[in-house]
A = this chain, B = another copy of it.
Amino acid sequence: MTYCVGIMTHEGLVLGSDSRTNSGIDMVNACRKMHTFVKEGSRVLVLLTSGSLSLSQSVVTLLRREFEQEAGLAAAPTMYDAARTIGTQIRNLAALDRESLERDHFHFNINVLLGGQIQGGPPALYLIYPQGNPLMATPDSPFIQIGESKYGRPILDRGVRYHETSLEEAAKYALISFDSTMRSNATVGPPIDLLTYVADEFAIKRYRRFEEGAPDLKQIRRRWEQSLRRAVRDLPPIKFSPSDPLPE
């Protein structure tokens, strides 16, 4: 399983991915799901992938080949075009692999989160589906998750607001969202790749790979759980109602 999340706020972007990959429960390995395509000063594109590792490796390989020839993600004039470039490569890959996979009852399963900024436009965050079509994050829906998304969603729903949440806070929400997911699902796991991108920087200046057992990650978990317990204790007591008829 995989968990990746992108958050867009008025200050910029937060992007994070786990590194657990498995084919069935017996074979658990680590693998990066974050990929960066950067031309300092003019464009920063970060891809997070979920689904079949074979398919996401192929898509990144095809995109990297184009990028190194100054085409594809190196040439896309806007973030929308960059998302379409990824969609096109997903469709190219579908033409290569989909029929063979489906013959043996595998799904053609790949989702890509794209976050970044291309000079001339604002930062943007897209999800590109296995069919190749893109979905954009908006101020009303300022985060997108892929993979095992449910455990880590409530904290984002409660906390992340496009116009109000600072980038530093958004990064903390992302880490807590990862921690919640890893606690409830053993097939999502460290290392966690996390970066924040400040609008108009056109370079990646704040990146961190949190290894398993990183002391500050453990400290954040400990303090977070202490805060939650205190918050529950401080809630007003629940009022029960002797007049409500018991359900038959």
Residues of B within 8 A of A180 (CB): 154, 157-158
- Say whether B36 contacts A184, CB under 8 Å: no
CB distance from A240 to the nearest CB of B (A): 4
Say yes or no for A171: interface residue by CB 8 A criterion: yes
Determine the residue in chain B with the shortest Cβ distance to A183: B157
Is A70 interfacial (CB 8 A cutoff)?
A: no
Contact B172 A232 (CB under 8 A): yes
Cα–Cα, bound, A207→B41 (Å):
62
Please name the 7 residue pairs, one residue from A and one from B, whose CB atoms are nearest each other, closest first: A150-B150, A227-B231, A154-B180, A206-B240, A34-B247, A208-B240, A208-B241
Determine whether the beta carbon of A158 is less than 8 Å from that of B241: no
Is the C-beta of A225 less than 8 angstroms from some C-beta in chain B?
Answer: yes
Question: Is B235 a contact partner of A150 (Cβ separation < 8 A)?
Answer: no
9 residue pairs of the A-B complex, CB under 8 angstroms, read A154-B155, A158-B180, A158-B224, A159-B232, A169-B233, A195-B240, A206-B240, A209-B241, A228-B228
Contact A238–B194 (Cβ < 8 Å): yes
Within 8 A of B (CB), among A215-248: 216, 219-220, 223-225, 227-241, 244, 246-248
Complex interface: chain B residues within 8 A of A181 (CB): 154
Q: Given the complex of chains A and B, what is the CA–CA distance between A239 and B207 in angstroms? A: 9
Tell whether A35 is near chain B: CB-to-CB under 8 Å.
yes
A194 to B231, CA, bound (A): 20
- Beyond A36-B247, A193-B247, whether A239 also contacts B216 by CB under 8 A is yes
Cα(A219)–Cα(B184), bound, Å = 28
Interface residues of A in 149-203 (CB under 8 A from B): 150-155, 157-159, 168-169, 171-173, 175-176, 180-181, 183-184, 193-196
